[in-house]
Amino acid sequence: MPKMMKTGIEGLDRVLCGGLLHHNSVLVKGAPGCGKTTLGIQTVYNGAVMFDEPGVIVLFEQFPQQLYRDLMSYDWDIEKLVRENKLRVIFSSPDQVVAPDKMRESPLVSQIHDAAMEIGAIRILIDSITHILNLASDTRHAREMLLRFINALKSIGLTPIMTAEAENRLGAIGIDEYLCDCVLLLSSEASKDKTFHVRELTIRKTRGHDHLRGRHLFKLSRAGIEVFPLTQAHVSEDIAGERAAGKLEKLSSGISGLDDLLGGGYPRGTSTIITGMPGTFKTTLAAQFAVKGAEPGDKSLIISFTEHPEFFAALMEEKGLRVRAMAREGRLKVWHFTPKESYIEELLYRLEAEMDGNGITRLVVDGINEIERSIEAPEAYKDVISTFLSACASRGVTSLFTQKMDQFTGHSPLTDIRYASMFDGIVYLGTIEIESSVHKVVSVLKMRGSNYSNDLREIVCDNTGIKVLSKFIGLSGVLSGNAQGQYKKNIEELFQPLYFIRDFLEILSTTEMAPDERDAVVQNLRGETNKLVDKLKIHFDVKS
């Protein structure tokens, strides 16, 4: 395998399966404003700064001073590299490419040769070859002129990186693409709602090495171009073996009663969706799982699409979850991504790097509804969710995703939950009304790799977090939110004072006792009667 020439743009080198080949001609092509010149300059700049490979930049449209001014928006000190003899910037006109005759090199090639020899250049950017092609009288002439120019640069020992304007005709392929060894196509289109630009990079071809197929998103920042490769992870053999053997380690949810429902906890490396209507403690339940994972020394990551990390931590502190303290200790991180301001592909790319580099074992994504807002095409929703899940599963990361439900019938619950078939587990949170009082409920509807319980339990949340209480014995229709029957817990509370009264009456009627003993029993009887009256008033909402 030949040594690759890295661009220094991490995501692009990944798309190129390691980088470019030395002395291969590279074409960067696209419409105006899509980032062609930026990518070319960044590749030459990174070569000089990161890999000790000096470079030359040839401009046909800009004076060097204009280039320096335009690049002030990036963290690149081009003039410093020029002073250090690591870079040369040449301003020329396209007609300087034309040689006086076939026996001599063109004036521009001679100038490039002298500059390259002076600093030992390895890389060169030509911006742009469209000006050269416009000099040609016909297609044959253009082909001959461009091929001669490319070969002249290669003979000097340079790796040519050339920008070009895209053809006006849709789907047209120019001769420059046939003559170059590697072709990168850039595009920049307004999003469907016109709120931001979607920038995409596609590799048309790479001679001599492989590349990742598909359309890869990129953005422009102060660091220059950042590329976010489209990848698909696969479940590791270790995790697959554990699943097949049914021996997956159980990770505590941080809620003892929920662990009982889950059959001991969430199986390691699985994905679970926490779904329910607004206000049913979805975020808190998921955050409690992340906090629990950070306590023994493992690391957790929470991705919030709606709350800034500081505000999120403050909200969780009110529930008794030590998010802020654990974040300071480096055991838990909270990321915030705003839909429509960041590509979901960027989030996936950074997530993979975080899981690989920092030992994340638990992930909470709050929530799926906001992921959908970040995706342009609805038909791509499942593909993005699948990439999230496989990226986590391949690394043994246990993940929880919250989902806000629009409706829940309760008659066929799994059909109301989007992506139900894609997740290993489903935990449902809902509300029911019992005698004019709203109660919150939790139920595990699905959990692969675990002997989970089908019980429907009541949950409450206070300043110590979520607690799972008793079953709704005596009621039916709880899952649909339309409870019928008598809640056994309430009935027991009403009957308890009656049991005491019955016992006291039995004592009075069958036992000989002194007056003071009888008075004590009567007093207790009066107290239990008053308790019963008070409970009945509350139960039936009687004021007097």
- Predicted confidence pLDDT, tens digits, the chain (544 residues): 578 999 999 999 999 999 999 999 999 999 888 999 999 999 999 999 999 999 999 998 777 777 778 788 888 888 899 999 999 999 998 888 887 777 678 899 999 999 999 999 999 999 989 988 888 888 888 898 899 999 999 999 999 999 999 876 655 678 899 999 999 999 988 666 556 678 899 999 999 999 998 889 999 989 999 999 876 555 455 555 555 555 678 999 999 899 999 999 999 999 999 998 888 999 999 999 999 888 777 899 999 988 899 999 999 999 999 999 999 988 999 999 887 777 888 888 999 999 999 889 999 999 888 888 777 777 778 888 888 899 999 999 999 999 998 766 655 566 778 888 899 999 999 887 666 677 888 889 999 988 898 888 889 999 888 999 877 654 445 455 554 544 445 555 666 677 677 777 777 778 888 888 888 888 887 887 888 777 666 655 566 6
SS3 252: coil
Question: For residue 347, what is the domain's CATH number?
Answer: 3.40.50.300
Are residue 208 and residue 291 in the same domain, yes or no? no
The answer on 357 and 414 residing in a single domain is: yes
In this predicted structure, what is the pLDDT of residue 399? 96
pLDDT at 168: 67
Domain boundary, last residue among 228, 247, 277:
228
Q: Are 106 and 99 in contact (CB under 8 A)?
A: yes
Domain co-membership, 198 together with 260:
no
Asked whether residue 330 falls in the same domain as residue 415, the answer is yes
**Residue 255 sits in the same domain as residue 211:** no
What is the pTM for the complete model shown?
0.76
Same domain flag for 219 and 247:
no
Domain termination site, one of 194, 228, 262:
228
Write down the pLDDT at residue 486: 47
- Can you give the residue range of the structural domain that contains 356? 237-484
What are the structure tokens assigned to 107, written together?
A: 């004036």
Q: Which tokens is 106 given?
A: 């063109």
Q: Are residues 410 and 262 in the same domain?
A: yes
> First vs last Cα of the chain: how many Å apart?
90
Residue 496 shares a structural domain with residue 480: no
Domain shared by 152 and 221, yes or no? yes
- Domain end call among 167, 194, 228: 228
Tally helices (H) and strands (E) across the chain: 18, 24
CA angle, 491 then 492 then 495, to 5° = 85
Query: Does 310 lie in the same domain as 294?
Result: yes
**Claim to verify: residue 426 and residue 309 sit in the same structural domain:** yes
Pair (458, 510) in one structural domain: no
Residue 45 is predicted with a pLDDT of 96
CA distances from 27 to 114, 153, 166, 182, 382 (A): 24, 14, 11, 6, 34
Domain count, the chain: 3
What pLDDT does 359 receive?
A: 87
Q: Residues 46-89: pLDDT tens digits?
A: 999 999 999 999 998 777 777 778 788 888 888 899 999 999 99
Identify whether the C-beta of residue 288 lies closer than 8 Å to the C-beta of residue 321: yes
**Tens digit of each residue's pLDDT (9 = 90 or more) over 137-182:** 888 888 988 999 999 999 999 999 999 998 766 556 788 999 999 9
Sorted by sequence, the CB contacts under 8 Å of residue 384 that are 6+ apart come out as 344, 348, 371, 375
**Residues 533/494, Cβ–Cβ less than 8 Å:** no
